[in-house]
Chain A
Amino acid sequence: GESVGLHLPTLSVQEGDNSIINCAYSNSASDYFIWYKQESGKGPQFIIDIRSNMDKRQGQRVTVLLNKTVKHLSLQIAATQPGDSAVYFCAEENPGSQGNLIFGKGTKLSVKP
């Protein structure tokens, strides 16, 4: 989603439903992307990553889709649980600068029990 001012876009889902969080990245030369989960007051926690030679990668309950044509990344969470409530950030690695990440604006996921 798009951020407006200082407000994070929020996605509210019912427990057990699937969640889809979207992200647009900026550099067509980027070839490594990561999704992070951040709980309040804590550092980012790795969820899943993907390289540009792939368009889909699956983990446990999570799937990342990469569309290089439109520079779009999505994170799908299956059977969303209350513990999934957090802010989710996509990050692209700055080409030519290993470990240097450019973070997206973030989406707040709220899971209703």
Chain B
Amino acid sequence: GAVVSQHPSWVICKSGTSVKIECRSLDFQATTMFWYRQFPKQSLMLMATSNEGSKATYEQGVEKDKFLINHASLTLSTLTVTSAHPEDSSFYICSASPEPNWSSGNTIYFGEGSWLTVV
């Protein structure tokens, strides 16, 4: 079945540094990918929509200069947390879909998530 892979699964970085998280669709192409953030014991919150070949669309309250998104190819989107602070520590999850038009069925695939801890 379709697989979305995230890397790294776990990362610890120092406050003030930047960290990049990759989201890859392994066996399909995705013009759109989505980035979510999840704090402990909370739900997933959409951060931004990553669009291949164009700028990402950010949700209200998400700083685009802090969370840089690059969707350079149809199989890869990256999220870079710049000048990370401890409050950025969270679980970051991406999703992607191989189909431009929806039909009933499992067409949205999630990555396994990336744990970021900023110390």
Contacts and interface: CB of A to CB of B under 8 A. Distances in A.
Interface in B86-119: 91, 93, 95-97, 100-102, 104-106, 108-113, 115
Identify the interface centre among A93, A99, A101, A105: most chain B CB within 10 Å of its CB: A99
Contact of A103 (B43, B91, B96, B113): B43
Nearest to B105: A49
Interface of B: 6, 32, 34, 36, 40-46, 49, 91, 93, 95-97, 100-102, 104-106, 108-113, 115
Interface residues of A, number: 27
Q: Which 7 A-B pairs have the closest CB atoms?
A: A43-B110, A103-B43, A43-B113, A46-B106, A103-B44, A43-B112, A44-B110
Contacts of B34: 99-101
Interface of A: 6-8, 32, 34, 36, 41-46, 49-51, 89, 93, 97-106
Given A6-B42, A105-B43, A106-B43, A34 B108 contact: yes
A10 to B, nearest CB: 11
Contacts of A41: 91, 113, 115
A33 B27 CA distance: 25
A77 to B, nearest CB: 18
20 contacts: A6-B41, A7-B41, A36-B110, A43-B6, A43-B111, A44-B44, A46-B108, A46-B109, A49-B104, A49-B106, A50-B104, A98-B32, A98-B101, A99-B32, A99-B95, A99-B96, A99-B108, A100-B46, A106-B42, A106-B43
A100 B57 CA distance: 11
A99 B30 CA distance: 11
